[in-house]
Amino acid sequence: MDLRTRPAYNIPPFKESIIEYVRTRDKYTKCFIGGAMSSSLRWVLTPLDTVKCKMQVNSTKYPTLTSGLATVWKEQGMGGLYRGFVPTILAYCTQTGTK
């Protein structure tokens, strides 16, 4: 059988399926970027959520939000405020990008 001919069950030729794959992939890339942009508010709220969780666990060390932010900043720096940032953003990107 010649590889350039189509079988009876209409499978698209190789070149057309590659083009369709690239178009589909481009669509998912756009959806992922859109999800990242729509979840950009989480980028601002992640430090607040981190301090909120720390306040729930240790309310004597983190009595208020502002003192909690200052304590985490002094002890752990920017990395401490954005702990858990990557999984949060990935979850929001996939969630909003696939809707």
CA distance 35 to 79: 23
10 dihedral zone (left: phi>0; alpha: psi -120 to 50; beta): left
Phi-psi category of 83—alpha, beta or left, where left has phi over 0 and alpha has psi -120 to 50? beta
73 or 21: which leads in pLDDT: 73
Q: What is the pLDDT of residue 95?
A: 74
Q: What's the rounded Cα separation, in Å, for the pair 7 and 5?
A: 7
The per-residue pLDDT for range 47-89, each reduced to its tens digit, is 999 999 999 999 999 999 999 999 999 999 999 998 888 888 7
What rounded mean pLDDT belongs to the chain? 77
Stated pTM of the model? 0.57
Residue with more model confidence, 25 or 8: 25
How far apart (Å, rounded) are the C-alpha atoms in residues 66 and 75? 14
